A and B are shown apart, each in its own frame.
Chain A
Amino acid sequence: MGRSTIPSALSELSNPSTPEAQVAALQKLKNEIVGHGQRKELAVTHGVVKPLAGLLRAEARRGGKRRRNVTNGHGSGHASETRRGVEQWTTEDELRFQATLVVGSLANGGPAFVAPLLAGHVLPPLLEALRPSETPAKLVTTTLKTLNQIVDAIAQEKPWLGMSESSSRSSLAFAVNESIYTRLVIESLAEILAQSAGTIKVNQQIESVVCLIMKTCRDEYQKKMLVDAGMLDLLADKLAAVAAADDSIPTTEARRSNREPFPRGCLSELLETISAIIKDSHFYTARFLYSQSIQQLFGWPKERSTATLEGSNTSQASSWDKLIPRVHTMASKSDPYIKQWPALGAYPSVTADSYSRLPSMESLQQTSGRSVITDESETPLFIWLMYVARRSEGRERLSACWLLALLKKFGERWPLNDPSKTTRERHFSYLIIPLVEKMIEESSPTSEQTKRASTLSPSARDEMRFVLERSPIVLAELVAGNKSLQTAAVHARTLPTLIQTLKKSFDIPATSSKPLWQPRSSSHEVKDPTLDPASSTLGRAGLSPDLLHAFKYRESILLALAAIAGDQDSLRKMVIEMGAATHIIEALVPYSESNEQSNASSVREGNPDSVLIAACKVTRSLSRSVSVLRTSLIDHGVAQPVFELSTHPNVKVQIAATEVITNLVLDVSPMRTEILESGVLATLCEQCRSANFDLRFGSLWALKHLCLGLPHSMKIQCLDELGVGWLVQVLNGEPSKPAMGTPNAVGEQVDILNAVDEPHMDVDDEPSSEEDDDAMTESIPSMRRHQRPGSRYTSATNIRDRLQQIKNDEQDNRLNGERDDIRIQEQALDFIRNFVSEDKASGEMIDHLLKTFGHSRFFELLDAKIRPKNPSLSNPSSQTQASSNTPSYWPSNTHRTPFSSSTTPVTQPNWAAYPSTELILATVYILVHLANGRPAHRSLLISQTTLMQHILPLFTHPRRDIRVACAWMLHNLVWVEDHTDEAATRERAISLRQLGFEEGARVLGRDMDLDVKQRAVVSIEQFDKLLNGGLSRSGFASPSGFGGGDGGVGGLSSMGGRLGGLHGWRHDSRG
């Protein structure tokens, strides 16, 4: 019955008679296809896309031209403001409107329908229609809705299409994102967003833009584009507008005027969008935090009070505090609050007028408790977000928690005015984590609420899905790397719920929805040959929403488990005991394209890449526990699937798998042999040549672990496969690599790498002048756009400096390149160190290494890592000492003890000119191991005069680790192997004395650090014994000198191994 109208509508569209007839045809078509998948299919296969696109294109061109003419005719700028309202709604507009609706309805059919739409070039005219100056408002709103529908549809695309780089480029998502994220489109979106909210139409437009960004913003280039277009500032404005309503201060007239009524309803989307932009970028987070509107409303107390000096009262700074219950950092036992802990939420603040009904109790507690409690408040923005999280529910609550988690992460890296770590931890563990846990429990498929979900409306069901997909990730982000928060997250029922839900995620059948019934068997009609095949053929069907949902929450639960199990063995054991291992292994199985045709009925057949990565992360977290490694992980056979993933086509999966392998190939791992047999050595060596830095880095790290304790033959094989040439290349760094220390603006030598460790901004600087303000807004173009007259912060310069600092740290390619270079060099040095370290100290490996590298080349390489980078640039006072041209660092004939005066700055070498500390440390440890070889190796090392001269200054290095390593090296160098070696050792001791090392040992002997001191004392005794016959001082040298030494022999050789081993385990501390 209904079928007949589609062809007639189509024929009208392809052979238009009058615009009115076309409108009618489109309306008919729309009513036909809405809600009917089969008719949509029919429409597309009959070639509806081409005429639709043509219509949209023609109208967009005509409409744009017409309106431009109108604007020109008016001639005056302000006319464009009022014009839109009175603009007539023409038949052409109606035509576009209906066509846009039809496109949206087609897109609702899923990714299969988006493919022909894209092929028919429907997107460009739609995006053109976004310009609010050229398009009627109603059409803009509809276009935005249609775009959202398209984006929703492509979200159902099969995730494994994006397996490799090449295929991800052919994905629909890529194509759509590429068209949306162009300068013009983003500018139009920003223009829409910049409208002042108020009327329903504008609010709808703003909401649609916010949703569109929220759904599409994933990649770095997108974020950059949005931030450059001023989008982040606009979003911050909107957020501040919402927050201003909660500000309990009676607002002054000036403030009220620039706050616009904004729909509270889309607060969640707003928070989500901001989070999407600032995620994974400290710089963008800082841009958000320091955006004008956020600063104005939430300005840190200090700035705020100065800012409000002109007008209103002084108690403003603390007004936000009233929004959340007080959480006291320290409470004494006698404190009455202790009993109140469970009722935290019921404790409102004293002075708020709205609570005046309950005055007495408040003031009582106030006086009794105050004195013993450190009452540190959170920053106002955090307080408000916590308040939002506590006040609202569902999506909005979760979004607030998510933004809080991201901001907390930023605060850990770039602290400023943040409360102490304990205060923040308490706030999060008492106010936020319980909320997230509750959401996890309530949204889990086993909970009461979810069982009723089928009766809910679609939007409520969506919200429940969103909560389930997102809440575990929020938990993960909150507790990552923080032991006390991890513990706080675990004490409730969260862990069992998470694991149960993980299990559930595997029980969802892939094709949960049955196909539509067809009245007639679909006879394949002969297609009209004149139709464009690309735009009249359906694309690949997407996944069922249920399945996508399962994938998403599976991934986020795995990430939550990874974060919880990240740092504590007890929690790792708990995760295992609750039976997570089976499901984790199940999540390590990749989806393979081949079994799609045969039978796509079960989810058990595989996981998309994102789930694989998450599964690798949780495996890595768990494998940090030796006992878990030795029991359940091996029981479940984790090695094989992980190893298979290391050859996955997606490089991100490869990296994640390699990071797991790093822990699995450790000496202590029982899986080492199994994984070695499957050929991990060759794979890792091959990956070291990958174009991707992270993969190279991870693989070298894994090789470093693998190398430790390997039989000699395999070590040699490993070195051969890796190639000496490659190692040398890595150690030399990039040929054009500039020096680590670079002159800053003033011409001073600045060690950028070390400087970033102290990012504290000096907020006490003098207030900036007006020019500074201008300069700042100029340097950040988008800020200029939204500057309001009369508003500026006193610390604008500070903020600019800080933003610049954060930006450099994150986005400067050269800086990041250098940092990466150092990281991989460190791994290369550690690899060499583990290569030469042996249990038996036979020295064979050292011999092999020296042979393959060549003595001189090898020592030159090491020397380059411990000498000042560029002697000519270092300051004059240190030049004389640090320069390699000085024949003897400490002339042995003088009695001057340079180290005694080392407290004076004159003799301190310029450490900024040195390579990074990590490299020095790694190099010195190689020397420790070389000195632990055969006596001949010690002589060889001592004979490298230049190298040895460069080591000496390191004895005063500010980092204790380096001094400890130096002490160990010296200790090893003067060690007497046996009687036969005594004479040779004496000679070595004499050479060392000539090089100034005896003095050096004395300096170390006076070291503050016990480790250094004890090691040095043994060396001093040894020097004494060897050079002075050990007689004169024998009284002083305690008998334990020999005894301790004897013990030391055993301890010494094991020291090498242990050090290497310890170093290997460093992977533990990595996030």
Chain B
Amino acid sequence: MSSSTVSVSATTPTQHSFQRKIDDIKPSKTDINFVVMDYLVSEGYPRAAEKFAKEANIRLPLEGESIQSRVEIRRAIHAGDIDSAITKINDLNPQILDTDSALHFALLRLQLIELIRACTSSATADITPALNFASSQLAPRAATNPDFLKDLELTMSLLIFLPETGTLHKELTDLLEPSLRRNVASKVNEAILTSMGARGEARMRSLVRLRQWAETKARAVGKDIPPSLPLGLQDVDERPVNGNGETGDVMVQ
């Protein structure tokens, strides 16, 4: 299976014997379609999934409703509207945040960061809301877990080292990066999927990992493989999140 994704980049000028082997393998179209559809559904691209279903002439999995709410939740987190994201998660299934305190804490911390952002944006703003929020929502929990405590302390120090005042420590700038939101959003997505009894992540991700593992193993034992085996997907993380078109492109070749 791992080799099937490789077939995408099968046009190296000097044909390595390994490459020829790859070319000999004809992965089943249905399998590829399945993996693509799985990716689109689990990562929450309903419109792309719809289009893809039409294009590849396959049936759309019957979970439209939950894709929609997952998309909304993700959008809210990306936009920094954590409060409504939490409400939406609770509407979908309150058990998720009730039982996964780490996830809940991560969301609340994100909310705290937004509050701090808001009150430090102007010099005159009041920091009381942020303090209140931290003491009522995050502090009780922080006492139970050293990791939480560390995270909270780090976040609170944002209040002291105001972003505009100059260069911040790397750890602090990380907190203000949008990648943190994305990270939390994908964790939430995973948790929702798991709570519905589905696999937490898209199969494609595990396939890519499997391929990576196989490559490392093969190199470790000195197998004859090309010096570099590109995935053909470039840097997945850097793609715009609503890249319906692009994801479709890559998959359909």
Q: In the bound complex, how far is the Cα of B132 from the Cα of A1, in angstroms?
A: 7
Asked whether, in the complex, the Cβ of B197 is within 8 Å of the Cβ of A518, the reply is no
Q: Which residues of B contact A736 (CB under 8 A)?
A: none
Q: In the bound complex, how far is the Cα of B91 from the Cα of A207, in angstroms?
A: 20
Say yes or no for A82: interface residue by CB 8 A criterion.
no
Asked whether, in the complex, the Cβ of A519 is within 8 Å of the Cβ of B136, the reply is yes
Q: Mark B180-215, 1 if CB is under 8 A from A, else 0.
A: 000000000011001011101000000000000000
| A28-36, A189-197, A648-656, A938-946 - interface stretch | A28-36
Asked whether, in the complex, the Cβ of A457 is within 8 Å of the Cβ of B190, the reply is yes
Out of B129, B142, B191, B197, name the residue touching A517 (CB < 8 Å).
B142
Q: In the bound complex, how far is the Cα of B41 from the Cα of A200, in angstroms?
A: 14
Q: Which residues of A contact B135 (CB under 8 A)?
A: 519
| A100-108, A467-475, A753-761 - interface stretch | A100-108
Min C-beta distance of A448 to chain B, whole Å: 16
Q: In the bound complex, how far is the Cα of B95 from the Cα of A30, in angstroms?
A: 11
Q: Mark A145-175, 1 if CB is under 8 A from B, else 0.
A: 1000100000000000000000000000000
- 8 Å CB contacts to A: which residues of B121-174? 129, 132-133, 135-137, 139-144
Q: Mark A184-215, 1 if CB is under 8 A from B, else 0.
A: 00000000000000011001100100000000
Q: Which residues of A contact B99 (CB under 8 A)?
A: 108, 458
Asked whether, in the complex, the Cβ of A200 is within 8 Å of the Cβ of B94, the reply is no
| A435-443, A508-516, A619-627 - interface stretch | A508-516
Q: Which residues of A contact B94 (CB under 8 A)?
A: 30, 34, 101, 104-105
Say yes or no for B55: interface residue by CB 8 A criterion.
no
Q: In the bound complex, how far is the Cα of B132 from the Cα of A68, in angstroms?
A: 51
Min C-beta distance of B172 to chain A, whole Å: 23
Asked whether, in the complex, the Cβ of A516 is within 8 Å of the Cβ of B136, the reply is no
Grouping DSSP codes into helix (H, G, I), strand (E, B) and loop, the A interface class, with mixed when no group exceeds half, is helix
Min C-beta distance of A514 to chain B, whole Å: 5
Q: In the bound complex, how far is the Cα of B101 from the Cα of A37, in angstroms?
A: 11
Say yes or no for B24: interface residue by CB 8 A criterion.
no
Asked whether, in the complex, the Cβ of B86 is within 8 Å of the Cβ of A31, the reply is yes
Known contacts A1-B132, A31-B87, A35-B98; A515/B196 CB under 8 A: no
Known contacts A200-B62, A203-B197; A108/B144 CB under 8 A: no
Say yes or no for B100: interface residue by CB 8 A criterion.
yes
Asked whether, in the complex, the Cβ of B143 is within 8 Å of the Cβ of A30, the reply is no
Q: Which residues of B contact A101 (CB under 8 A)?
A: 90, 94
Asked whether, in the complex, the Cβ of B95 is within 8 Å of the Cβ of A457, the reply is no
Q: Which residues of B contact A799 (CB under 8 A)?
A: none
Nearest A residue to B132 by beta-carbon distance?
A: A1
- 8 Å CB contacts to B: which residues of A513-527? 513-519
Out of B63, B136, B194, B200, name the residue touching A2 (CB < 8 Å).
B136
Q: In the bound complex, how far is the Cα of B196 from the Cα of A31, in angstroms?
A: 20
Q: In the bound complex, how far is the Cα of B7 from the Cα of A785, in angstroms?
A: 53
Asked whether, in the complex, the Cβ of B137 is within 8 Å of the Cβ of A514, the reply is no
Q: Which residues of A contact B194 (CB under 8 A)?
A: 457, 459
Q: In the bound complex, how far is the Cα of B138 from the Cα of A518, in angstroms?
A: 10
Known contacts A1-B133, A519-B136; A34/B197 CB under 8 A: no
Asked whether, in the complex, the Cβ of A457 is within 8 Å of the Cβ of B191, the reply is yes
Q: Which residues of A contact B22 (CB under 8 A)?
A: none
Q: In the bound complex, how far is the Cα of B194 from the Cα of A37, in angstroms?
A: 23
Nearest A residue to B98 by beta-carbon distance?
A: A108
Known contacts A104-B94, A105-B94, A207-B197; A516/B63 CB under 8 A: no
Say yes or no for A3: interface residue by CB 8 A criterion.
yes
Q: In the bound complex, how far is the Cα of B61 from the Cα of A199, in angstroms?
A: 10
Known contacts A1-B133, A457-B190, A458-B99; A517/B143 CB under 8 A: yes
Say yes or no for A263: interface residue by CB 8 A criterion.
yes
Say yes or no for A265: interface residue by CB 8 A criterion.
yes
Q: Mark A337-361, 1 if CB is under 8 A from B, else 0.
A: 0000000000000000000000000
Asked whether, in the complex, the Cβ of B86 is within 8 Å of the Cβ of A265, the reply is no
Out of A31, A35, A105, name the residue touching B101 (CB < 8 Å).
A35
Q: In the bound complex, how far is the Cα of B98 from the Cα of A105, in angstroms?
A: 7
Say yes or no for B8: interface residue by CB 8 A criterion.
no
Q: In the bound complex, how far is the Cα of B62 from the Cα of A432, in angstroms?
A: 37
Say yes or no for B10: interface residue by CB 8 A criterion.
no
- 8 Å CB contacts to B: which residues of A1-45? 1-3, 27, 30-31, 34-38
Q: Count residues on chain B whose CB falls below 8 Å from chain A CBs.
A: 36
Say yes or no for A864: interface residue by CB 8 A criterion.
no
Q: Which residues of B contact A145 (CB under 8 A)?
A: 93, 95
Say yes or no for B104: interface residue by CB 8 A criterion.
yes
Min C-beta distance of A99 to chain B, whole Å: 12
Asked whether, in the complex, the Cβ of A263 is within 8 Å of the Cβ of B139, the reply is no
Q: In the bound complex, how far is the Cα of B201 from the Cα of A459, in angstroms?
A: 13
Q: Which residues of B contact A31 (CB under 8 A)?
A: 86-87, 90
- 8 Å CB contacts to A: which residues of B81-116? 86-87, 90-91, 93-95, 97-102, 104
Nearest A residue to B190 by beta-carbon distance?
A: A457
Q: Mark A959-994, 1 if CB is under 8 A from B, else 0.
A: 000000000000000000000000000000000000
Asked whether, in the complex, the Cβ of A517 is within 8 Å of the Cβ of B140, the reply is yes
Say yes or no for A266: interface residue by CB 8 A criterion.
yes
Q: In the bound complex, how far is the Cα of B94 from the Cα of A149, in angstroms?
A: 11
Grouping DSSP codes into helix (H, G, I), strand (E, B) and loop, the B interface class, with mixed when no group exceeds half, is helix
- 8 Å CB contacts to A: which residues of B38-73? 62-63, 66
Asked whether, in the complex, the Cβ of B141 is within 8 Å of the Cβ of A34, the reply is no
Q: In the bound complex, how far is the Cα of B101 from the Cα of A34, in angstroms?
A: 10
Out of A3, A104, A265, A519, name the residue touching B95 (CB < 8 Å).
A104
Known contacts A518-B140, A519-B135; A263/B98 CB under 8 A: no
Q: Which residues of B contact A36 (CB under 8 A)?
A: 137, 140
Out of A3, A34, A37, name the residue touching B136 (CB < 8 Å).
A3
Q: Which residues of A contact B190 (CB under 8 A)?
A: 457
Q: In the bound complex, how far is the Cα of B190 from the Cα of A848, in angstroms?
A: 79
Q: In the bound complex, how far is the Cα of B98 from the Cα of A3, in angstroms?
A: 18
Q: In the bound complex, how far is the Cα of B133 from the Cα of A3, in angstroms?
A: 11
Asked whether, in the complex, the Cβ of B86 is within 8 Å of the Cβ of A263, the reply is no
Looking at B86, B101, B143, the one whose CB has the most chain A CB atoms below 10 A away is: B143
Q: Which residues of B contact A199 (CB under 8 A)?
A: 62
Min C-beta distance of B30 to chain A, whole Å: 15
Q: Which residues of A contact B200 (CB under 8 A)?
A: 457, 459
Min C-beta distance of A1012 to chain B, whole Å: 67
Asked whether, in the complex, the Cβ of B137 is within 8 Å of the Cβ of A34, the reply is no
Nearest B residue to A519 by beta-carbon distance?
A: B135
Q: In the bound complex, how far is the Cα of B198 from the Cα of A358, in angstroms?
A: 35
Q: Which residues of A contact B133 (CB under 8 A)?
A: 1
Out of B63, B101, B136, B140, name the residue touching A200 (CB < 8 Å).
B63
Q: Which residues of B contact A2 (CB under 8 A)?
A: 136-137
Out of A27, A149, A266, A516, name the residue touching B143 (CB < 8 Å).
A516
Asked whether, in the complex, the Cβ of A266 is within 8 Å of the Cβ of B197, the reply is yes
Min C-beta distance of A280 to chain B, whole Å: 30
Min C-beta distance of A396 to chain B, whole Å: 13
Q: Which residues of B contact A514 (CB under 8 A)?
A: 143-144
Nearest B residue to A2 by beta-carbon distance?
A: B136
Min C-beta distance of B221 to chain A, whole Å: 19
Q: Which residues of A contact B91 (CB under 8 A)?
A: 27
Nearest A residue to B100 by beta-carbon distance?
A: A458
Out of A38, A204, A266, name the residue touching B140 (CB < 8 Å).
A38
Q: Which residues of B contact A263 (CB under 8 A)?
A: 197
Q: In the bound complex, how far is the Cα of B144 from the Cα of A170, in angstroms?
A: 31
Out of B93, B97, B144, name the residue touching A35 (CB < 8 Å).
B97
Min C-beta distance of B196 to chain A, whole Å: 7
Min C-beta distance of A387 to chain B, whole Å: 20
Sort A-B residue pairs by CB-CB distance and give the 6 closest, nearest first: A517-B143, A516-B140, A108-B98, A35-B104, A1-B132, A35-B97
B-binding residues in A (CB < 8 A): 1-3, 27, 30-31, 34-38, 101, 104-105, 108, 145, 149, 199-200, 203-204, 207, 263, 265-266, 457-459, 513-519
> Mind listing 13 A-B residue pairs with CB under 8 Å?
A31-B90, A36-B137, A104-B98, A108-B98, A204-B197, A265-B197, A457-B100, A457-B200, A459-B200, A515-B144, A516-B140, A517-B139, A519-B139
Given contacts A1-B133, A104-B94, could you give 4 more A-B pairs where the C-beta distance is less than 8 Å? A108-B95, A145-B93, A517-B140, A517-B141
